[in-house]
Amino acid sequence: MKKFYVDLHIHIGRTWTGKPVKITGAKSLTFTNIIEHARHEKGLNMVGIIDSHSPEVILEMESLVSSGDIVEHPNGGLVFGDLTVIPGSELEIYDEQCNGPIHVLCYFPTIAIMKRFSNWLTDHLKNVQLSSQRIYVTGLELQKKVKELEGIFIPAHVFTPFKSLYGKGVNKSLLEVFDPNLIDGIELGLSSNTKMADQIKELHDYTFVTNSDAHSLAKIAREYQVIAMEESTFLELRKALKGKEGRKVLANYGLDPLLGKYHKTVCAKCLHPAKEEDQVCTQCGSKKIIKGVADRILELKTAEQGSENRPTYVHQVPLEFIPGLGPKLLENLVNHFGSEMAILHEVPFEALSEIVPPKIANLILQAREGTVNLTAGGGGKYGKIAD
């Protein structure tokens, strides 16, 4: 069994002709730029590219196959050298059965099947060109369609205060919205980790995935997982999510929840810390309090501990969070050591300090070891490394 670095949630900002896909995504996030950056800069082995349902993105993928730049694997996935692309789509549901909106992730093995899914979506949403569009079918209907097309279905960033399964404060169970047997995994999001999520008993049977939800090239692989598979293909990924035949997630790498944008409860206006029961900010008087993920999970808590077979969750500080490590220094590191994965996991202090100042090299090692001091994020503002 081999080990693969995998990030399954990367957005497309623009098509190859410059048309917007993810409005809030960077213009540099084209399909081609993503696969080149993920392979050569980040050192990933598999990526899920969300928004692959957009018709112009499908045309770009087909063009890359025609030119021989990517090859469709017979077991699913688009092969670009030592990187495999899993075409995906993020959709928003808000039906009579759920209190949404809720975002979900759908993945498919081939371009042809993604095209079929895209054509089906055309009849059920307002603009098939764009990312994360609201789909006017129920969550159950969407699940059934994904499975009819041999796809993978994963609820996205399930604790985020906005547009997630548990985040809004109304849905208390996935059974209110989905068929539990048609869920292949649960995406945790940036403000939670395995220990926090396992306080909800109904999640114990699912594999947790940790993905970047990248809206820029720099954000790719800020969260990812290491997966044991025979080869980097769609079919192997599906087996790993189900823990079949020795395929499985070996480790989740994610932000320390303190770094997440919605970890603690704060005032939306001034970001002053608030208590869960506060109705008015004690600092500025605003009545808009954004409940943090930590408090929301405690509301939902139904278990003291989770599955004994969970993989290790490694708290990671992405390189862009390291104070003093600007774009130029980071570029020098990547050029010298080959990829961000190598810098984050392998390069010793002595080698790092030859390229960057010892203070930065030491922070990278402290981040690797989980010994840096952090201040918590909330209300849409990331946490940071404390001075």
Domain assignment of residue 278, yes or no: no
Domain assignment of residue 298, yes or no: no
Range of the domain at 176: 2-258
% of the chain at pLDDT higher than 90: 66
Q: What is the number of structural domains in the chain?
A: 2
Give the domain CATH number at 17: 3.20.20.140
Judgement on whether residues 59 and 195 belong to the same structural domain of the protein = yes
Judgement on whether residues 216 and 339 belong to the same structural domain of the protein = no
Q: How far, in Å, CA of 179 to CA of 147, rounded? A: 12
Summarised one tens digit per residue, pLDDT across range 315-329 is 888 888 888 888 888
Judgement on whether residues 39 and 157 belong to the same structural domain of the protein = yes
DSSP 337: H
Give the phi and the psi of residue 372 in degrees, each rounded to 5: -80, 155
Contact indicator for 10, 20 with CB cutoff of 8 Å: no
Give residue 83's pLDDT: 98
Judgement on whether residues 224 and 335 belong to the same structural domain of the protein = no
Two structure tokens written together for 371: 């010994």
* Residue recorded with tokens 């909800």: 200
Contact indicator for 98, 171 with CB cutoff of 8 Å: yes
Domain assignment of residue 270, yes or no: no
Nearest Cα to 195, choosing from 102, 291, 293?
293
Judgement on whether residues 10 and 159 belong to the same structural domain of the protein = yes
Summarised one tens digit per residue, pLDDT across range 327-356 is 888 889 989 998 888 888 889 999 999 999
Give residue 387's pLDDT: 63
Domain assignment of residue 93, yes or no: yes
Domain assignment of residue 19, yes or no: yes
Q: What is the Cα 10 distance to its own chain's centre? A: 7
Judgement on whether residues 345 and 236 belong to the same structural domain of the protein = no
Strand partners, 273: 266
Domain assignment of residue 266, yes or no: no
Judgement on whether residues 324 and 246 belong to the same structural domain of the protein = no
Single-letter amino acid code for the residue at 251: A
Higher pLDDT, 68 or 262: 68
* Residue recorded with tokens 């045309």: 59
Which of 206, 236, 258 lies at the terminal end of a domain, its last residue? 258
Give the phi and the psi of residue 80 in degrees, each rounded to 5: -125, 90
Domain assignment of residue 111, yes or no: yes
Collapsed DSSP state (helix, strand, coil) of residue 213: coil
Judgement on whether residues 250 and 131 belong to the same structural domain of the protein = yes
Q: How far, in Å, CA of 29 to CA of 172, rounded? A: 35
Give residue 3's pLDDT: 97
Which of 210, 241, 258 lies at the terminal end of a domain, its last residue? 258
Strand partners, 251: 226, 312
Domain assignment of residue 75, yes or no: yes
DSSP 57: H
Which of 214, 243, 258 lies at the terminal end of a domain, its last residue? 258
